[in-house]
Amino acid sequence: SRIKDGLPTYGSCAGMILLANELIDGAVGQETFGGLDVKVRRNAFGRQVDSFESDLRFEGITEAPLKAIFIRAPWVESVGPEVKVLASVDGHPVAIRQGSLLATSFHPELTGDNRVHRYFVDTVCKEAMKVGSR
């Protein structure tokens, strides 16, 4: 209910899965918190042995590309009209935003680069506070 009420929320990897309204290849009976108007495919890039790193351009982060670490990562199969794609790999969205929700299919916390987390606080949270104070 807090997410539905506009609580700024960021989910990476499994967090993206939990924030998705629809899940593809989920475990039988698996539920999500929802909030993002997206379909997400679990383990879309493959198994643990298929984990990889990639340099990404992330809309809203204008410095050098991000080093993104993907571990059994999901990707976004489809997005609704209110969802903004911030980064993609091979045509698949891997960073998305909808209002006060941000999700990535990679793990920025494993790189020592805090720019995604700064984007969440400086952009997503601050915009949510402005909307909430009206």
Tokens of 80: 């609704």
3-state helix, strand, coil in the chain (%, to 5): 20, 40, 35
CB 73 within 8 A of CB 87: no
CB crowding 13-52: b at 16 or more within 10 Å, else e: bebbbbbbebbeeeeeeeebbbbbbbebbbebbeeeeeee
Catalytic site residues?
13, 107, 109
pLDDT in tens, 71-99: 999 999 999 999 999 999 999 999 999 99
pLDDT in tens, 102-130: 999 999 999 999 999 999 999 999 988 88
pLDDT on residue 134: 46
Quickly list H helices, the chain: 14-19, 115-119, 126-132
